[in-house]
């Protein structure tokens, strides 16, 4: 999936509370300039939904918040380099990048 | 006719409770920010429709919310709290140095004169200010850079700056309190700060009369008498008649002087309220009996207020920011419990009625008296 300028359109699935905060549905579609990495997808997400800044990764260090995970294509990408290319199925739009809140708490 | 709006922060969202001046029939709105801890909600004294709320989550971090219509609708504003300059270290629970790390906003204190100016007390302890309605935040770093900073330690709930009092007679003077560093005051609008803990005695620190290290739970000031402060310390209820330069104990005949909240009658500056809690090991009322204690003499002589409050099998706590007063002619007193009840008294504490009984655990209660 690409836009008119051939930039990939990436599907991102958000957890419940971030959907509420950003006022979105389960999934958002983002135009992400190459290279498509976790960093560039999150940059695009935060650019379109500025209220999400600081809720997924730290404002300054850009480190992932500890109780969040990044899943895609049945893989846990949470510990991968944020600058590593994402799987081809993400770029094609066949699979979403899933931002998941850890199942914990009361 | 006047009305009141009670702003309640809970473990699972915020609620807005409204009533006319009779304070008998209540409308409950919420939850706002459902499912998320809301540590504090407070309105501007100059524009009551401007309300700020702190929602915080271990998963998604801090979100600051702002309402411009009295809590009907909300919009997120900036959640970026970046410490100024070198971060430095404070003491960790085990006494080792630990870097300052932003965790959450505990307390929001809107300016007395400008609805766009608001102060935030955060964990790890620091004070920030926004002059643009929460769109950006700047630290007042003189507090954290106070020479004693490396010796501050967290209390059980974290190293939180939980109390901010703005002096209505002197815009340069602000009081704050940190658990477990103690109370501080600035007389130059936040540029420099001094510890104001002389007279406090805390057996749980190596030097019981140390300059810092006291676990102050809450402080209160009557706006008509800004030099007089009241404090609920971890143990001990304290009073200062010299703007915090010295303190003396006023626990008097309280059955236990451990507790979290302390507040002052809107029209009687010598009438104060506390909720005694059994001990620091058992955070619930003595004998399962929920009693507010009132002193009409500025401390030392206390009377239990029980009418309408559960007097058996009650094992809730009342947290540090969970009591507030309205300023109607007959002063109303409000407090929330960890059991989810919000109690109101329309007669200065003589009798109590639950506004709601089954909210999530209450973290904070503030009241707006509306024209």
- Delineate the domains of chain B, giving CATH numbers in brackets: 44-332 (2.130.10.10)
Tokens 């404070």 belong to B90
Which residue, among B313, B300, B212, B316, has the nearest Cα to B261 in the 3D structure? B316
Per-residue tokens: B355: 């506004």
> Is B59–A53 a contact, with Cβ atoms under 8 angstroms apart?
no
Q: How far apart are CA B241 and CA B193, in angstroms?
A: 19
Please state the rounded mean pLDDT for residues B144-154.
92
> Is A20–B34 a contact, with Cβ atoms under 8 angstroms apart?
yes
- Which residues does chain A have with pLDDT short of 50? none
**Cα dihedral B137, B141, B143, B144 sign:** positive
How many C-beta atoms lie closer than 10 Å to residue B198's C-beta?
A: 13
Which residue, among B135, B55, B176, has the nearest Cα to A50 in the 3D structure? B135
pTM of full prediction above 0.90: yes
> Is A65–B60 a contact, with Cβ atoms under 8 angstroms apart?
yes
Task: Evaluate if residue B72 carries a pLDDT over 80.
Answer: yes
The strands making up B51-57's β-sheet, listed across from edge to edge, are: B37-43, B51-57, B61-67, B75-77
Distance between alpha carbon B31 and the CA centroid of its chain, in Å? Answer: 21
Per-residue tokens: B3: 């009305």
Each residue's pLDDT tens digit, B258-308? 999 999 999 999 999 999 999 999 999 999 999 999 999 999 999 999 999
Which chain A residues are closer than 8 Å to B36 by Cβ? 17
Residue B157: band (very low, low, confident or very high) from pLDDT cuts 50, 70, 90? confident
Whether B23 contacts B308, CB under 8 Å: no
| SS3 of residue B183 by DSSP | strand
Per-residue tokens: B54: 């702190």
Which chain A residues are closer than 8 Å to B53 by Cβ? none
Residue of B nearest to A67 (CA): B59
Task: Evaluate if residue B1 carries a pLDDT over 80.
Answer: no
> Is A60–B61 a contact, with Cβ atoms under 8 angstroms apart?
no
> Is B80–A59 a contact, with Cβ atoms under 8 angstroms apart?
yes
Q: How far apart are CA B12 and CA B243, in angstroms?
A: 37
In this prediction, residue A106 carries a pLDDT of 57
Whether B164 contacts B119, CB under 8 Å: yes
Task: Kindly compute the dihedral angle of the four CA atoms of residues B252, B256, B261, B264, in this order, to the nearest 10 degrees.
Answer: -20
B166 HSE (CA, 13 A, CB side): 20
The kind and range of the H/E element at A90 are helix A88-92
In this prediction, residue A105 carries a pLDDT of 59
Which chain B residues are closer than 8 Å to A45 by Cβ? none
Each residue's pLDDT tens digit, B304-338? 999 999 999 999 999 999 999 999 999 999 999 99
Residue B261 is given by DSSP the state: -
Residues 40-99 of A with CB under 8 A from B: 51, 53-56, 59-60, 65, 67-68
ipTM summary value: 0.90
B306 conformational bin, left if phi > 0, alpha if psi -120 to 50, beta if neither: alpha
Please state the rounded mean pLDDT for residues B85-108.
93
Each residue's pLDDT tens digit, B27-68? 999 999 999 999 999 999 999 999 999 999 999 999 999 999
Which residue, among B198, B199, B220, has the nearest Cα to B295 in the 3D structure? B220
């Amino acid at each position: 999936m690409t836009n008119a300028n051939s930039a990939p359109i990436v599907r991102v699935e958000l957890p419940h509370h971030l959907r509420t905060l950003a006022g979105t549905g389960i999934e958002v579609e983002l135009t992400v300039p190459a290279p498509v990495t976790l960093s560039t997808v999150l940059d695009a997400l935060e650019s379109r939904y500025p209220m999400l800044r600081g809720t997924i990764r730290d404002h300054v260090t850009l480190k992932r918040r500890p109780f969040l995970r990044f899943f895609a294509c049945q893989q846990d990408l949470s510990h991968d380099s944020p600058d590593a290319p994402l799987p081809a199925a993400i770029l094609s739009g066949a699979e979403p990048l899933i931002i998941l809140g850890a199942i914990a708490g009361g | 006719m006047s009305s009141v709006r009670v702003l309640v922060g809970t473990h699972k969202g915020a609620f807005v409770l409204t009533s006319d001046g009779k304070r008998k029939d209540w409308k409950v709105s919420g939850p706002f920010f459902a499912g998320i801890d809301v540590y504090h909600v407070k309105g501007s004294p100059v524009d009551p429709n401007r309300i700020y709320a702190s929602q915080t989550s271990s998963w998604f971090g801090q979100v600051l919310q702002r309402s411009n219509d009295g809590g009907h609708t909300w919009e997120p504003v900036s959640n970026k709290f970046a410490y100024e300059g070198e971060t430095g270290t404070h003491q960790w629970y085990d006494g080792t140095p630990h870097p300052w790390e932003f965790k959450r906003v505990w307390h929001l204190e809107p300016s007395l004169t400008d609805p766009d100016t608001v102060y935030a007390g955060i964990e790890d302890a620091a004070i920030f200010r926004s002059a643009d309605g929460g769109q950006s935040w700047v630290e007042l770093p003189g507090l954290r850079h106070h020479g004693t900073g490396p010796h501050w330690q967290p209390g059980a709930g974290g190293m939180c700056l939980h109390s901010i009092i703005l002096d209505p007679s002197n815009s340069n003077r602000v009081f704050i309190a940190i658990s477990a560093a103690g109370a501080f005051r600035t007389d130059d609008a936040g540029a420099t700060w001094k510890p104001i803990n002389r007279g406090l005695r805390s057996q749980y620190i190596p030097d019981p009369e140390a300059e810092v290290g006291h676990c102050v739970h809450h402080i209160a000031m009557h706006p008509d008498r800004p030099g007089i402060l009241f404090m609920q310390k971890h143990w001990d209820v304290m009073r200062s008649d010299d703007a915090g330069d010295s303190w003396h104990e006023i626990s008097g005949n309280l059955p236990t002087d451990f507790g979290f909240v302390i507040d002052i009658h809107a029209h009687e500056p010598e009438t104060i309220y506390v909720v005694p809690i059994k001990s620091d090991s058992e955070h619930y009322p003595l004998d399962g009996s929920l009693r507010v204690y009132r002193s009409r003499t500025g401390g030392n002589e206390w009377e239990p207020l029980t009418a309408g409050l559960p007097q058996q099998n009650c094992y809730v706590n009342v947290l540090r920011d969970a009591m507030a007063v309205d300023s109607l002619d007959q002063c109303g007193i409000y407090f929330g419990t960890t059991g989810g009840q919000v109690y109101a008294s329309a007669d200065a504490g003589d009798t109590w009625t639950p506004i709601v009984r089954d909210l999530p655990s209450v973290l904070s209660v503030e009241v707006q008296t509306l024209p």
